[in-house]
Amino acid sequence: MITEFAALVRVHVLGNWPVAVTVVPLAIAAATYLITSIAYLRATRSTKHGRAPPTVPYWLPVVGSTLEFVVDIEKFIKRVQTKYGDDKPYTVKLLGRTGNFNLIMKPADYSAILRSTKYTSNKLLMAEVMEKVFGTPQYVMPMYRRDVSGISPTPIPGTDIPEHQRIWHNQHASSARYLVGDSLRSLGARYVSSLSEALAVANPNDPVDSGEWVAMADFYPWWRSRVFTAATTAMFGPHLIRLNPTLEADFWAFIDVIPMLGKSYPRWMVPRAYAARDKMIAAVKKWHAFARAHADYRHCGNDAPDWDEYWGSVWLKVRQRWGQDTGIMDDDGLASEDLGLLMAANANAIPMAFWNLIEVCKDRALLARVLAELRSGIVSPPGQSPMTFDLGPILSSPLLQSIYAEVLRMRISLMVTRIPERGVFRHGPWNFEHGAFIALPSGYVGYHEGAWAEHTAGGQRPVSEFWAERFLVPDEDGTAKTKKHKDVKAATEKEKPKKMRFSTDHVEGIWMPYGGGAVMCPGRHLAKQEMMGGVAVFAAYYELEVAEGWVPKMDPFFYGVGAQQPAEPTPVRIRRKIGGWRKP
C-alpha cells in the first residue's frame, strides 16, 4: 500500500512540476508544524526539573516564527497567550539568532528575573542595540561585547578588562553621578526654562498664537517640534541644533525607522533607515568637532561649570574624555554613543508628555483638577514673561505622579531583556542556557488583566482604560479623625476622606516602563522631569481641547521598542492664553 502511494506521488506530484511547486512547500510546512507541535506537547507534559521552555510551534523550517514575530510582535504575543496560556515561558525560534529567544508570559515571574542581576544582565542586548540601531563601528564592538566585568567599581572576579575600557561600569557610574541630585535638578530647571522662553514668544504669523481658538489638524508634530529644541539644548547646548538646522526633522525621521534597524533588516532592503541613521551620526560628529575646537572637554572635574554653550552638560565632556581615553573609540564610535544619548533624552519623554496632555484634556473634570495642581509650580509674579517654574510641587503631587505612571503603563512598550552571562540560569523548573535572551515584554504585562486585577477598583477601572488614580494608595499616616461633641452619648470617630499618596511599590514587576533591577534606566528621573515639566509649561501658555473621551490609536510598528507613537492625526482646538495664568 505504501509503495503504491509513493508511486502515485512520484507520478502525479513530483512528475508534474506546477503541482510540485505548490504541494511540496505546503507538505514541508505541514510536516514542520506537526513535528514542532508534537515536540511542544512532549515538552509541556514533562515534569523534569531543569528543563528548557517549550518551543512555540512553527510552520517554516529554519525560519521558525521569525516572520510572524517581526511583522507584528504584539499580535504574536497575544496569539501565544491565547493559544498556549500564560503559565510558562516559551522559546521562540528566530532566524539568525545564535542563542535561544525566550518569552516570559507569567507575570509572577517578572520580579524574580529582574532581580537576578548576579546571574543575568542586559549588556549583550545593549551591545546589539549600539551596533544595529546606533551604528557603532564593527571595530569598536568588541569593547562592548568583551566587557563582562560588571557595573560595580570592583570588577567581577576572574575578569581582566582594563579599567579604562570597562564601558558598562563607566556608563553606570557617570549616569549615577550626573542624572541625580544637583546635576539632575540643574538639567531639569534648564529644560523648563528653555521651554518657557520658547513658548513665551508669540509668533505673529502663527494662528495658534493669536489668542483665539483655532483648529489644528494634528497636534503631535507641533508639540514635539517645540519640546525637542528645549530638551536638546538643555542637555547638549545650542550648537548641535545651530550647526544642523534640520536636526529636529532628521531626528524624528530616525526614530521612525528604529524598529527596522532593531529588527536587523539589511541595508539593501531598507536604505531609507540606514540613510536616516547616517545623517544623524554625521550631525553629531559635526557638533563634536566644533565643540572640541572651542572648549576643552578634559576640563570636566569638580572645578568645571556644570554646563557650557559648547558641550552643554558637563556630563558630555566626561563622556567624550572617557571615550577618547579608551584608545578604541574614534569619531564614529563617539558619535554613536551620543546619538544614543540624544535618543534617550527625547524619544520617550516627548511622546509621553503628549499622551499625558491628551489623556487629561479629553476629560474635563480631570483637567480642572490637574490645572489646579499645575498652578502650584508657577513662581513668577503675574504678568512676567517668560514665566518661571519650580518643579518641586509638581513632581511631588500624588495626582500628577499617578497620571504620569498610568501614561507610562499604557504607552511604553519595551522588550526588557536579561541574558545569562555565566552559565545556565535556573528559574523555577526552567533552565535558560548561557547567552539566551530572556524577554519580558512590558507592554504585555502592563495590560495583563490578571496581574492588575487588584488595581482596577473592583473591576470598574479595567487596564484597557486610562485611570488617573490607579497609582494612588491610602496614606495611613495622613488619615485624620475627628470626634463629635463629648456630651453626645453615641459619640463615635468619623474618618475624613483618606489622604492618598503616590506609589508604585504595589506593582513591582508589572509596572516596568524603565526596566527593572540594578540596570533600570538611569535616565528615568530626568525623563520624569521632562515629561511632567513639559506638561506644566505648556499648560501655562496654552489651552487645549480634545474630543471628549477620544485618544488616537497607538502605532503597532513601535511595539517593543519604547515610547508608542500615535498611529493617526490628533485633531485639537488650541488657544494661546493671553497673559498666562494668574496665581490666586
What are the binding residues for heme? 521
C-alpha grid cell, residue 13? 506530484
Relative orientation angle of helices 331-346 and 247-262, to the nearest 10 degrees: 100
Q: Shortest CA distance to 500 belongs to which of 369, 355, 408?
A: 369
CB neighbour class for 246 (10 Å; exposed up to 12, middle 13-18, buried from 19): exposed
* DSSP 8-state assignment for residue 186: H
φ and ψ at 423, to 5 degrees? 85, -170
Question: Got the DSSP string for 248-316?
Answer: HHHHHHHHHHHHHHHTT--TTT-HHHHHHHHHHHHHHHHHHHHHHHHS-TT--STTS-SEETTTEEHHH
CB 107 within 8 A of CB 505: no
- Grid cell 498556549 is found at 84
Strand-pairing partners, residue 208, are: none
Parallel, antiparallel or unpaired: strands 120-121 and 472-474 = unpaired
Residue 386's Cβ-side half-sphere holds a number of Cα atoms within 13 Å equal to: 15
C-alpha grid cell, residue 144? 562592548
Strand-pairing partners, residue 542, are: 576
Residue numbering of the annotated binding site: 521
3-state DSSP call for residue 413?
A: strand
Alpha carbon of 373 to those of 185, 312, 475, 539: distances in Å?
20, 31, 19, 11
C-alpha grid cell, residue 496? 475624613
φ and ψ at 359, to 5 degrees? -65, -40
- Give the DSSP H/E element, type plus range, for residue 430: strand 430-432
CA end-to-end span of the chain: 94
3-state DSSP call for residue 221?
A: helix
3-state DSSP call for residue 267?
A: coil
C-alpha grid cell, residue 378? 508657577
**What is the per-residue burial (b if ≥16 Cβ within 10 Å, else e) of 54-93?**
bbbbbbbeeebbbebbbeebbebbeebeeebebebbbbbb
